[in-house]
Copies of this chain bind each other. A is one copy, B any other.
Amino acid sequence: MDFEALFSADARVMQPSLIRRLTGLVNQPDVISFAAGSPSAETFPYSRLTEIYHDLATVEKGRLFQYSVTRGNAELVEAVRERTARVQGVAASADETMIVSGSQQGLDFIGRVLLDPGDAAFVEKPSFPGGIDTFATYRARLFGVTSHDDGMDAEDLARRVREARAAGHRPKLVYVIPNFQNPSGRLWSLERRRALLEVARAENLLIVEDDAYGELYFDGVTTEQRSRLKALDPEAPILYMSTYSKTLAAGLRVAWIMGPAPVISRLVLAKEVGDLCTSTLSQKLTLEFLRRGWMDEHLPGVRAFYQHKAQLVDAALHKHFRGLGRWTPPRGGLFVWVELESAYAIDTWPVLEASVAEDKVAFIPGKPFFVGGVGRHCLRLSYSNVTDDNIDKGLEKLSRRLRAARESVV
């Protein structure tokens, strides 16, 4: 049977993500890896979760393993609403809230419910490949928008929207990660946030606000600086997404979406055919962790863990990367973004191959984070899964490798 001929048009455009293709390369055991996109398993509160599990199984018995309702366990929805309003400043009613099996599932359902082939979606340069790649499988036309250290350039967004319209693409949504973005670590200024809200309103764009990292801020970052778009403008058409993958435990696969009720109810229909419900066990563990007030106790330690690593990376970059390029000072999240001096035209992709083979040091090259094949002179450094000792050692080796690449280009 000719299976290729059987595939749907969507399936025919599906490609393994560029980052996935690097998995074998960067995950070798003796490699110092700045490549991981995952949080550190050291931050997951396994003993507290085990205590909860034991208590729940004693009381709930088999019910702990029964199906849940598609929209999410009602008590969890309540606990999520309470904490999101209190901590993230984002208020939503129960019918404006749903649980998903991780943010990636949320992005997929958003693509499914909003994007027809040829529709236009706008993303930061750089942006998270989990968003870019997902929207691309719905055969949307993606437009990269110029972004700065302090956020997306709203004027460029307006230009891209006009460009899309002129080319016959219907503008539908803009996807942004204003707090400590993956990959850039950027924290948007309030001005940039407000400017985006204004352009989105004028252009009738739905905003998809991915706040995966907003709670992982470091000392000195104020609540106001992390103001969620949906808190700044509660009436704007925003799908606000957040997740417990970075704050509690990635492997539980629990995240949530808040937005206009008509869109949420359609996303719930997508979930009804998509997976029926999120793991009941995962939902109840999360619920009980929130109920006991443990999230608020737990998070300062998680922030301190990443801040410590980030400071070591920043110090090592100051020591070894002088003259090689610039980087965003880490203020939260899991990532530092390095832009090499573009004058040298170093392509970080082949550098990675040599770096792993000869130095046993891995990172992620810039290309997968950009729509349209730019960013070859950039690289993402993750500090979540590198031991303290290896940070300076790894970045020293990497700096030598990059300097050598620069020499060979010159």
The residues of A with any CB-CB pair to B shorter than 8 Å are 1, 3-4, 6-11, 14-17, 20, 38, 40-44, 46-47, 49-50, 53-54, 57, 60-68, 70, 101-102, 104-105, 107-108, 111-116, 119, 130, 133-134, 137-138, 172, 204, 206, 237, 245, 248-253, 260, 262-263, 266, 269-270, 272-282
Residue among B3, B41, B263 making CB contact with A62, cutoff 8 Å? B41
CB atoms of A61 and B38 under 8 A apart:
no
CB atoms of A251 and B65 under 8 A apart:
yes
CB atoms of A44 and B57 under 8 A apart:
no
A-B contact pairs, 23 of them (CB 8 A): A1-B260, A3-B237, A3-B260, A7-B114, A8-B112, A8-B115, A11-B112, A11-B266, A14-B113, A40-B62, A46-B57, A65-B250, A65-B252, A67-B250, A101-B253, A105-B274, A105-B275, A105-B276, A130-B276, A252-B279, A279-B282, A281-B282, A282-B282
CB atoms of B38 and A66 under 8 A apart:
yes
CA distance A204 to B41 in the complex (A): 47
CB atoms of B57 and A251 under 8 A apart:
no
Residue among B16, B50, B206, B280 making CB contact with A251, cutoff 8 Å? B280
**A272: chain B residues within 8 A (beta carbon):** 16-17, 20, 133
**A44: chain B residues within 8 A (beta carbon):** 61-62, 64-66
Write the chain B residue with the least CB distance to A40. B62
**A206: chain B residues within 8 A (beta carbon):** 1, 6
CB atoms of A66 and B237 under 8 A apart:
no
CB atoms of B266 and A14 under 8 A apart:
yes
CB atoms of B8 and A113 under 8 A apart:
yes
Q: If the complex has contacts A54-B54, A115-B8, are A64 and B108 also in contact, measured as CB distance less than 8 A?
A: no
Given contacts A16-B269, A253-B278, 13 further A-B contacts (CB under 8 A): A7-B114, A8-B119, A10-B113, A14-B113, A50-B53, A67-B250, A67-B251, A101-B101, A102-B275, A252-B279, A252-B281, A274-B274, A279-B282
CB atoms of A116 and B8 under 8 A apart:
yes
Interface of A: prevailing SS: helix
CB atoms of B276 and A8 under 8 A apart:
no
Residue among B41, B53, B113, B245 making CB contact with A7, cutoff 8 Å? B113
CA distance A107 to B237 in the complex (A): 31
CB atoms of B273 and A4 under 8 A apart:
no
Q: How far is the CB of A149 from chain B (nearest CB, A)?
A: 29
Q: How far is the CB of A186 from chain B (nearest CB, A)?
A: 23
Q: How far is the CB of A37 from chain B (nearest CB, A)?
A: 8
Q: Which 3 A-B pairs have the closest CB atoms?
A: A251-B280, A65-B249, A41-B62
**A280: chain B residues within 8 A (beta carbon):** 250-251
CB atoms of A275 and B253 under 8 A apart:
yes
**A11: chain B residues within 8 A (beta carbon):** 112-114, 266, 269-270
CB atoms of A275 and B49 under 8 A apart:
no
Q: How far is the CB of A248 from chain B (nearest CB, A)?
A: 8
**A113: chain B residues within 8 A (beta carbon):** 7-8, 10-11, 14
Q: How far is the CB of A80 from chain B (nearest CB, A)?
A: 18
Q: How far is the CB of A134 from chain B (nearest CB, A)?
A: 4
Q: How far is the CB of A242 from chain B (nearest CB, A)?
A: 16
**A266: chain B residues within 8 A (beta carbon):** 3, 7, 11, 14
Interface centre among A38, A101, A115, A133 (most CB of B within 10 A): A101
CB atoms of B281 and A6 under 8 A apart:
no
CB atoms of A57 and B47 under 8 A apart:
yes
CA distance A284 to B64 in the complex (A): 16
CB atoms of B43 and A50 under 8 A apart:
no
Q: How far is the CB of A161 from chain B (nearest CB, A)?
A: 15
Q: How far is the CB of A138 from chain B (nearest CB, A)?
A: 7
CB atoms of A66 and B263 under 8 A apart:
no
Interface centre among A245, A274, A275 (most CB of B within 10 A): A275
Write the chain B residue with the least CB distance to A273. B134
Q: How far is the CB of A233 from chain B (nearest CB, A)?
A: 13
